[in-house]
């Protein structure tokens, strides 16, 4: 749509196809940023795409002008044609395209948002029909002549390795072709996937696990919390934090624990590989095809120009498919077989093979003066570092570990931000919204606790700390209006609010939650107000917000990976639940766009806010609701996770 806007194309004639990764690499990365992550597809590529369309338009106009023997200034483009202003003569793009390819133009101007004619209009996605009628091709749908299948059995204890296996135990089963032994996994190759899968299940394998087999979630949490009592690396210190904390009339302290989470893509990791004469073709759904080609070259030793990568629809990505471990594994297996191979991880393998949203613990301590004003603030976070996990020799701060904490929205005159890294044997990777996921959850929940301590309305308290952020005024005003914040609500129902900025986008959300007389929690409605500057397509923008709400709500209500004896317990959707349709709240989305040259992201920023709600509602907003229940409920104090004077009913969430 961005290219079409500048090109003045007739959208009815536009079609889309996957970019040729081989061409991209052979022609100096001609397509620019060829990946989808970090909410960067529009945010980081918009201007480049505008220039592509604008330059193509000017080449076409110049070519037509030369044919008509007039100045290019006497011509213009519209709906896929070039017009002569004087004669009203016209020519289609196709008729001058060959000549336009030879033309060179300079100093091409791109449009400003106020000049857009097409961008900003609700437009149906290209892929709707294919996804409805089943013709969309995901990588698990790929079929090649004479293809065989591989099922993988990973060590259930992450970090373990293969000690020995007994292939003879399954060698004579129908369809079995061979086994491929790797460092921490074993693959069975067979004529059909079920043959490979059942044989892999029954293959006798001994693993080297050592002390890793004793790992548990409880151990991880104790280790993380122990580091909270140490100083940590000071990332930012402003004002006289020691003196102001000592002089504070009131202080509170709370710890927040965020567990490891799975990406839980509906389509499990899979990849198809076919070797030819001095080349290899690979089919997979990936968010980063360039990284995939580099990995394939490392495994095979082939030059990049002999690697042909065919990207497919993603059956869910959420950051997981920007890692290429599954592609690397498929290529290793295919090297051992003289036929095309499709490798598929079962759901259990997908859940247990690692690359999780990282675990973190965060401690907050603020100080208030006699007037209940916030005068001092400290935060110390302990986080599993993705950078150190994937590059063990890397030194320094993993900035994604502290985003949302170090660059907090709120202004405090005296503050100290500290951080420590603590990795376990579990492997991590970027999860939708990166470090903002766990950090904004902890931050916004604790802002509610501070509002209670300051005896202020949660929204008003936030606004008092945002005086240096006037750009947030429109978002907060629209949010207050659309949510009807502060209105009287029926007994058992309350609202919660949160604000956060990430990936160039500001989002405010209000959730309406009901607690029944039986103590059941129901999220009734979530209202989002978003400022991402400008929008390409309101339809897809709203879809991004809605999907982020559901993704984050699933994490808030159900998301948790538990490790026992080194093994991840939640290995399928019966134990790792998600929000079903009958549990989905009403979702209302509003855009309060500031315009200008801002193009913020949308895929990442919305997710993290929803994961706050259920916790937030238990930190002071439902006081009246819980007075009845607390008088009839025994609350068991947990370890240091619930230190301080925070309202105790937050524990009910656990």
Task: Count CA within 13 A, CB hemisphere, residue 641.
Answer: 20
Q: Supply the pLDDT for residue 634.
A: 30
CA distance 359 to 382: 9
CATH of domain 2-115: 3.30.365.10
Average pLDDT rounded to a whole number, residues 359-368: 97
Quickly count: other Cβ atoms within 10 Å of residue 403's Cβ.
Answer: 19
Q: Supply the pLDDT for residue 608.
A: 61
| Band of residue 642 on the pLDDT scale cut at 50, 70, 90 | very low
Asked whether 189 and 150 are in contact (CB, 8 A), the reply is yes
Calculate the average pLDDT of the chain.
Answer: 91
Q: What digits encode the pLDDT tens for the residues 475-534?
A: 999 999 999 998 998 888 989 999 999 999 999 999 999 888 888 888 999 999 999 999
Residue among 226, 215, 261, 256 nearest 654 (CA):
256
CA distance 598 to 333: 46
Average pLDDT rounded to a whole number, residues 111-132: 94
Stretch(es) of the chain classified as CATH 3.30.365.10: 2-115, 139-154+161-208+269-344, 218-260+356-653
Q: Supply the pLDDT for residue 396.
A: 86
| Band of residue 606 on the pLDDT scale cut at 50, 70, 90 | confident
Q: What digits encode the pLDDT tens for the residues 558-577?
A: 999 999 999 999 999 999 99
Q: What digits encode the pLDDT tens for the residues 304-338?
A: 999 999 999 999 999 999 999 999 999 999 999 99
Topology of the domain covering 139-154+161-208+269-344: Aldehyde Oxidoreductase; domain 4 (3.30.365)
Asked whether 404 and 443 are in contact (CB, 8 A), the reply is yes
CA distance 184 to 354: 12
CA distance 123 to 558: 34
Q: What digits encode the pLDDT tens for the residues 196-205?
A: 999 999 999 9
Helix axes 46-68, 93-100, angle to 10 degrees: 100
> What's 218-260+356-653's CATH class?
alpha beta
Residues contacting residue 619 through CB under 8 Å, at least 6 positions apart: 445, 448, 449, 452, 646, 647, 650
| Band of residue 609 on the pLDDT scale cut at 50, 70, 90 | low
Q: What digits encode the pLDDT tens for the residues 155-192?
A: 999 999 999 999 999 999 999 999 999 999 999 999 99
454 or 653: which leads in pLDDT: 454
Entry pTM: 0.91
| Band of residue 294 on the pLDDT scale cut at 50, 70, 90 | very high
CA dist 14 → 4, 67, 69, 98, 125 (Å): 8, 25, 30, 18, 12
Look at the alpha carbons of 338, 342, 343, 348 in this order and tell me if their dihedral is positive or negative: negative
Residue among 369, 121, 95 nearest 245 (CA):
369
């Amino acid at each position: 749509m961005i290219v079409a806007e500048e090109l003045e194309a007739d959208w009815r004639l536009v079609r889309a196809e996957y970019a040729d990764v081989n061409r991209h690499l052979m022609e100096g990365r001609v397509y620019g940023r060829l990946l989808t992550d970090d909410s960067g597809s529009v945010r980081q590529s918009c201007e480049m795409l505008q220039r592509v369309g604008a330059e193509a338009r000017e080449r076409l106009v110049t070519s037509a002008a030369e044919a008509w023997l007039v100045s290019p200034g006497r011509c213009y483009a519209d709906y896929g044609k070039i017009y002569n202003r004087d004669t009203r003569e016209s020519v289609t793009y196709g008729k001058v395209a060959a000549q336009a390819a030879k033309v060179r133009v300079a100093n091409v101007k791109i449009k400003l948002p106020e000049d857009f004619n097409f961008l900003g209009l609700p437009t149906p996605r290209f892929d709707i029909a294919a996804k409805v009628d089943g013709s969309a091709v995901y990588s698990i749908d790929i079929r090649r002549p004479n293809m065989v299948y591989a099922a993988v059995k990973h060590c259930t204890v992450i970090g373990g390795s293969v000690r020995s296996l007994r292939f003879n135990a399954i060698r004579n089963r129908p369809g079995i072709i061979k086994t491929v032994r790797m460092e921490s996994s074993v693959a069975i190759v067979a004529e059909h996937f079920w043959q490979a899968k059942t044989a892999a299940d029954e293959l006798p394998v001994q693993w080297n696990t050592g002390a890793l087999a004793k790992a548990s979630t409880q151990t991880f949490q104790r280790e993380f919390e122990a580091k909270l009592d140490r100083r940590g690396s000071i990332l930012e210190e402003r004002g006289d934090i020691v003196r102001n904390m000592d002089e504070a009339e009131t202080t509170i302290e709370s710890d927040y624990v965020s567990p490891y989470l799975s990406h839980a893509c509906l389509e499990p990791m899979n990849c198809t590989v076919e070797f030819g004469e001095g080349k290899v073709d690979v089919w997979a759904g990936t968010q980063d095809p360039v990284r995939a080609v580099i990995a394939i070259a490392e495994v095979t030793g082939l030059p990049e120009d002999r690697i042909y990568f065919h990207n497919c629809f993603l059956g869910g990505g959420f950051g997981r498919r920007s890692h290429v471990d599954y592609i690397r594994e498929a290529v290793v297996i295919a090297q051992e077989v003289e036929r095309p191979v499709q490798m598929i991880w079962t759901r259990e393998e997908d859940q247990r093979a690692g690359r999780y949203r990282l675990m973190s613990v965060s401690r907050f301590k603020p100080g208030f003066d006699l007037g209940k004003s916030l005068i001092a603030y400290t935060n110390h976070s302990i986080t599993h570092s993705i950078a150190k996990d994937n590059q063990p020799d890397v030194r320094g701060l993993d900035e994604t570990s502290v985003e949302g904490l170090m660059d907090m929205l709120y202004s405090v005159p005296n503050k100290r931000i500290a951080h420590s890294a603590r990795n376990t044997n579990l492997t991590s990777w970027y999860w939708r919204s990166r470090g903002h996921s766990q950090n904004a959850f902890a931050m916004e929940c604790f802002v509610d606790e501070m509002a209670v301590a300051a005896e202020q309305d949660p929204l008003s308290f936030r606004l008092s700390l945002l005086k240096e952020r006037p750009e947030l005024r429109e978002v907060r005003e629209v949010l207050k209006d659309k949510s009807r914040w502060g209105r009287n609500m029926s007994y058992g129902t309350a609202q919660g609010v949160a604000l956060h900025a990430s990936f160039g986008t500001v989002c405010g959300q209000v959730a309406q939650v009901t607690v029944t007389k039986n103590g059941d929690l129901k999220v009734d409605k979530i209202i989002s107000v978003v400022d991402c500057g400008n929008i390409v397509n309101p339809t897809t923008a709203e879809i991004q917000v809605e999907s982020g709400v559901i993704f984050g709500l699933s994490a808030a209500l159900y998301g948790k990976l538990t490790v026992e004896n080194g093994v991840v317990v939640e290995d399928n959707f019966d134990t790792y639940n998600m929000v079903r349709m009958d549990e989905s709240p009403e979702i209302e989305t509003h855009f309060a766009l500031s315009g200008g040259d801002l193009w913020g992201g949308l895929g990442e920023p919305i997710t993290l806010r929803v994961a706050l709600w259920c916790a937030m509602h238990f930190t002071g907003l439902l006081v009246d609701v819980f007075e009845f229940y607390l008088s009839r409920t025994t609350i068991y104090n947990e370890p240091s996770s619930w230190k301080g004077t925070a309202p105790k009913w937050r524990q009910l969430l656990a």
